[in-house]
Every structure is written in structure tokens, then in C-alpha cells.
Amino acid sequence: MIDIRPVSSAVGAEIIGLDISRPQSKGTWQEVLEAFHRHSVLVFRKQNLTTEQQKKFAEKFGPVMIPPFKSITVAGHPECLILHNDATTPAFADKWHTDSSGWLRPPLGTVLYACIVPKLGGDTLFSNMHLAYAQLSPPIRTLLDGLNAVHDDRKSYGLDFPKVRDYLRKRGIDPDSYLSSTEPVLHPVVRTHPVTGRKALYHSTAFVTHIEDLTQPESKAVLAFLDQHIQANEFIYRHQWRKGDLVIWDNRSVQHYAVADYFPEERLMHRLNIEGDRPV
């Protein structure tokens, strides 16, 4: 039997008593899936996984995506992205975001496995977007319910994010070549979860450029409010990584922020994304 324990009052739960490397019953996986929809972030400590085992776990939630940057994936596993930071490559994901929201069909979820962690720092923060939406006043909810925002990879990988560009170039990737094949996409500011039916803010600071149909000053003001609102402490769980941790989170329900406070120490993570659908 597994034990499901909340890790904060805001979001997330730890699954205790489950060795992901071993076969599990359908009933056990159904419990995990239900916990995923209920808690949005699931933590599995003390795992010892191969990339193939991590992939099989991710596939319990849906098909695994192949990222566009194949040169920074695990050998033999083009779906598994390597996130490696050290003294030569500082961390860069220290912006609130939901993964790849600049895609027409962003990932449903992300599965991150800790291979090497720094002695101190390198935490990841998760903010509950269902809770963030629910705590808005009714007039603001009404306003946001009718709005759409433009998400653009050209912002996240563009000139405003030089650390991202440097990281890619050091690994033989030309960010401008990648961006030449991308186009902005339109997503609702408030999306409805396709399984639970719950509403959540769908805002991604690293990707959103503006809100459609608003004037530039209006868009800027609304985005500034959202940037601040989603960071409220009462929405957040802070995960302190240990080697062997596997964490899966629902990109439809949470945003995350990777704290870049461990330079020059090393941090190595393996990431898988699960296919999603178009936000509505």
C-alpha cells in the first residue's frame, strides 16, 4: 500500500512506499493518477531509476514528447532532456513559468529526476494556479475569464534571456535557427482542467508577451498584477531536492520557478514532458 502525504497546505503530496523501478498493480497506478489530479505535484523520494524506467513512469500519464533540442538529450533517449548546470554553465530557469507554453499544445506534465544536486540551494518552487484563481475577487475573475494572452517562444529564447541562449549555444544549438520556425500562440488567461473541470490561471512570465484586445498600457498593468499575484506565499510549495527524487507536476495547474542560488556547484536533472492538448 502507498501513503499519500501532503507536503504543504497549498499544493503537492509525497507518495511514500512506491518503488517506481518495480512493476505495480493497476490499482496502485490509479491511486497515483488520482493523487496527481488532486495535488498537482507528486514527490517520490529515494528512487534509483534508469532513463527507461523514468520514461515508463511518465507514460502512465500519457505519451512522452520529443523535445526540439536533440543534442542535449540522453544518449538513446531523444525524449529525455538533460538539464546540467555547473561552474561553466550557470542556471537560467529562474522565472515563473509553465513548461513550453509557447507551443500550441503545451505539455500536460513534467517529470524531473534528480541525478546530481548541490549541497545547498537549487530548490524548485511550485505555485497553485487553481488557488490563485479562486482567491481573486469576482470582478477580476470575470475580467480574466474573457481574455486571451499571446505566448511566444521568441521571448523565452530571445534576447531578453541571454543565459538561455548561452546554454543552447554551448551545446551546439543555434537559438535563432530554432526561433525562425516558431510562431506565437494564443491561450486563455484562465484555462479549465480537462479532467477535474477546475479553473486555473494560465500565465507564464517567461513566455507571455501581451494580452489580446487590450491596449498596451492595459496589458502591461494586467500582466504586472498577475506576475505579482501568482507569487503569494500561500499558493507555494518549495521542494528541496535530494539525489534520487522524482517529481511530476501538472503544467495545467501549477507554475514553477527553479531557484538559481547554487553557482558554482553542479546540478544534473533528467526531464521528460508528457503530451498535452490545447488549453481551453
Task: Note if 97 is an active site residue.
Answer: yes
The H-or-E segment that residue 221 falls in is helix 216-229
Task: Note if 229 is an active site residue.
Answer: no
Task: Note if 37 is an active site residue.
Answer: no
Please state whether the peptide bond connecting residue 264 to the residue before it is cis, i.e. omega within 30 degrees of 0: yes
**What b/e readout covers 205-239, taking b as 16+ CB neighbours within 10 angstroms?**
bbbbebbeeeeeeebeebbeebeebbbeeebbbeb
The residue annotated as part of the active site, out of 39, 97, 203, 270, is 97
The residue annotated as part of the active site, out of 77, 130, 165, 271, is 271
Closest CA relative to residue 92, chosen from 262, 280, 274: 262
Task: Note if 245 is an active site residue.
Answer: no
To 10 degrees, the CA torsion angle through 20, 200, 189, 186? 30
Q: How many CB atoms lie within 10 A of CB 17?
A: 9
The residue annotated as part of the active site, out of 99, 153, 245, 250, is 99
CA 24/CA 109 separation, integer angstroms: 21
| 254-258 sheet: strands from edge to edge | 236-239, 124-128, 254-258
CA angle 144, 145, 150 (to 5 degrees): 65
Give residue 248's identity as a one-letter amino acid code.
I
The residue annotated as part of the active site, out of 130, 187, 193, 256, is 256
Residues carrying an active site annotation: 97, 99, 256, 271
